[in-house]
Amino acid sequence: MRDQAQPARGRLPAVSAVAEVGRFTSTAGHAAFGVGRFAVGAVGDLLHGSLPGPADVAHEVRRTFEHLGPTYVKLGQLIASSPGVFGPVMAGEFESLLDRVRPADFAELRAIVVDELGAPPEEVFATFDETPIASASIAQVHTATLHTGEEVVVKIQRPGIAERLAPDVAILERVAGLLEVSEYGRMLSARHVVEDFADGLDAELDFRNEAATMAEWFACLQPGPFGDRVRVPHVYDEFTTQRVMTMERIYATRIDDVAAVRAAGHDGEALCRNLLLSLLDSAFHGGLFHGDLHAGNVMVDDDGKLVLIDFGIVGRFDARTRRILRQLVVDLIVKQDYDSAGRAIFLLGAVHNPGSTARGAEDLKKVTVPLSTTELGSMSYTDLGRQLAAVAKAHDARLPRELVLVGKQLLYVEKYMKLLAPRWKAISDREIYGYMAGILKEAERDRRARNA
């Protein structure tokens, strides 16, 4: 886990009280305008004899998030990738925010390339397409060709993005403090979630961090059995700076494009298995995992390999935490030893009111047992959230911040499972079971070492 003392954010500027108040007023104004638009549309529908439905609500919420700017677009990406939590209508509406945000003015982007690479894009590259192939909250992506002939994509940071993000982050930090008044907010460690969100945004503003992290993540998987099932783009360091990153162009299909994935002959269960195993192995053994697995960042190449991009947000576990997590997974899923699992959660610092061991074990059992028997297609993650909130209230539990980030990735994986392999039970899968057996052996080895 991260140390308690967080490093100062180097790229998000400090925000004055005047700027924060101004942004709050603007945010409230956009929200009110969105409500007004919806009300006018609802009146029009009523006059024509129809009622506004969930799709109308979702459309207006998405429009409002897009008008509010990059911070809310980032939050919208979580909604898009989590239909099990937010519902399929809302999630579907927000999918456009994954990589189809309104592009920035190219003249401003051209100036950034000149500042960063010393020449305009038409000179730096043999060819350069001014029309982006993807446009997201922090940056947009253009295709190009190097003078040596390689096809590449060029990721260019949006102009003035740091100044736009900073006031929103300040507001979210205040809101998070208010949320921790509730049991659910304390369980999720709302302030820590926002702190990590802000730290992630700050790191994303320097593409050199992303390039280094991407190489580190890929390297940490190579000693294991899953390294040949995933790939990341090669980064051209000579054309990569704080605000511009140049990478190998990979032709691939988004993992949530079910029709295209199936038409290419790819096995949906195998893709979900490989994504889950690479996430678990990078977290449990490498100590570094991708922290933003939304559908715009996970693709499938022609050979059926997973292609992961955009490593601006990652999570890290130190060696001690990895040992505790391995034991926790074994206790919950393999051994179903809920007393031991409760002690592991306590060691993670997540429980502030442990109460009786027997009661804590029984509460964990009620929540986790259904996970091994319910098909993902019929599982209600809203109900699961309510159960977790009840357990959190009883024991004053606050999930460590990196565990919340892992949970977010599992929501993403859950979406792809529902799309590509709705009847697949991960815990019954032979390879997943074999991996868990390996984790069990490591956990037992760790336990013997502690008791020696």
Catalytic residues: 292
Task: Tell me 234's DSSP state.
Answer: P
CB 76 within 8 A of CB 65: yes
Cα Rg of the chain (Å, integer): 23
375: nearest Cα among 326, 313, 320, 422: 422
Hey, which residues does 252 pair with through a beta bridge?
A: 301
Torsion from C-alpha of 87, 294, 189, 331, nearest 10 degrees = 90
Q: How far apart are CA 224 and CA 281, in angstroms?
A: 8
Q: Are strands 151-157 and 139-145 parallel, antiparallel or unpaired?
A: antiparallel
Q: Tokens 């950034």 label which residue?
A: 112
22/182 Cα distance (integer angstroms): 28
> Which of left, alpha, beta for 310 (phi over 0: left; psi -120 to 50: alpha)?
left
User: Beta strands 306-308 and 230-231: pairing type?
Assistant: parallel
What would the DSSP string read from start to end of 3-37? -SSPPPPSSSPP--HHHHHHHHHHHHHHHHHHHHH
The answer to whether 436 touches 334, Cβ cutoff 8 Å, is: yes
Residue 302: DSSP 8-state: T
CA gap 432, 273 in Å, rounded: 7
Q: Tell me the two tokens of residue 288.
A: 């570094």
